[in-house]
Amino acid sequence: MKQDASRNAAYTVDCEDYVHVVEFNPFENGDSGNLIAYGGNNYVVIGTCTFQEEEADVEGIQYKTLRTFHHGVRVDGIAWSPETRLDSLPPVIKFCTSAADMKIRLFTSDLQDKNEYKVLEGHTDFINGLVFDPKEGQEIASVSDDHTCRIWNLEGVQTAHFVLHSPGMSVCWHPEETFKLMVAEKNGTIRFYDLLAQQAILSLESEQVPLMSAHWCLKNTFKVGAVAGNDWLIWDITRSRWSTISENLFATTGYPGKMASQFQIHHLGHPQPILMGSVAVGSGLSWHRTLPLCVIGGDHKLLFWVTEV
């Protein structure tokens, strides 16, 4: 846990294995620390981290592992549930994962004796994205290379099933209107679904393909960003990952899994990236809930970048 200027990361946390995916908890959890989850080849680690930007008595970063969950297979994706609370008695940790065996696992823990998981089966190819409904946390949406978007309840029952025209790459739930879901496909189509009517209500098209990732700006849901071909595309539907605190900040990574991944933070008011970095075999990208700070997983490391709003 130190400054790491050679890679432009403000802070690093050492990990026991390669990190395939990392996610800050995007929801208020009732504790001053920030929950973070990362996944490796056969485990998921849940920890808390506090930064000097938010606590005056912290030097750099203060990180603590809360629990390690055996996973048994490579972790490809992690999504936090809004039901997660650290200030309840007992605390509630709830999240789900996607894995290389094409299954979703729903984990629930009180960080003491209760550590349970349920397997959700149905996808027939790799799962590229998953997310909890952000209000109640009672449903999970997932998209896959099997050309489907599926909605599940917490018992593992599919409540909706949308057939796509190409592999599903990203899925996002509207933060307020939870009957709206965004699904991005590899062929460049981004569709918005009404879950009550179970049909598409709007679509966007990218001329560049393949579309590899898309993200709904949660601070301004009229903005959608996507990585397609060699470009980052932005739609304003009134006329890849956005920051959770500013509608003008977003971050991108390139060449995931190669020997060096390029990392950039962009601001819509500037023509050039406002921060650039290089990460050895970087993967995963997640923004802090309240700070202009994001994290990337790497080889036995978590790497944190801090920028200005």
DSSP symbol at 291: S
Average pLDDT of the chain is: 87
Per-residue pLDDT at 77:
97
* CA 192 – CA 176 distance, rounded (Å): 14
* Of residues 161, 152, 48, 137, the one with CA closest to residue 105: 152
Q: Are residues 196 and 240 in the same domain?
A: yes
Domain residues for 102? 7-121+277-308
221: DSSP letter: T
pLDDT level of residue 241 (50, 70, 90 thresholds):
very low
Largest CA distance in the chain: 52
Is 254 part of any domain? no
For β-strands 189-194 and 180-185, DSSP reports them as: antiparallel
Q: How far apart are CA 206 and CA 189, in angstroms?
A: 6
Helix ranges (DSSP H) in 148-208: none
Q: What is the pTM of this model?
A: 0.89
- The rounded distance, in Å, linking the Cα atoms of 165 and 290 is 36
Domains of the chain: total: 2
Q: What is the pLDDT of residue 257?
A: 46
Give one word for 191, left, alpha or beta, with left for phi > 0 and alpha for psi -120 to 50. Answer: beta
Q: Which of 203, 197, 128 is nearest to 167 (CA)?
A: 128
pLDDT band at 292, cuts 50/70/90? Answer: confident
Residues 179 and 192 in one domain: yes
pLDDT digits (tens, 9 = 90+) for 46-73: 999 999 988 889 999 999 999 999 999 9
**Residue 77 within any structural domain of the chain:** yes
pLDDT of 260 higher than 70: no
The answer as to whether 269 is a domain residue is no
CATH at residue 143: 2.130.10.10
Final residue of a structural domain among 229, 245, 261: 245
CA distance 216 to 124: 26
Cα distance between residue 295 and residue 87, in whole Å: 25
Report pLDDT for 213: 92
CA distance linking residue 134 with residue 217, whole number of Å: 14
- Dist CA 149 CA 126 (whole Å): 12
Cβ–Cβ < 8 Å for 69, 46? yes
Most trustworthy range by pLDDT among 84-88, 163-167, 292-296? 163-167
The three-class DSSP label of residue 7 is helix
User: Which strand (E) or helix (H) includes residue 189?
Assistant: strand 189-194
Helix (H, G, I), strand (E, B) or coil at 6: helix
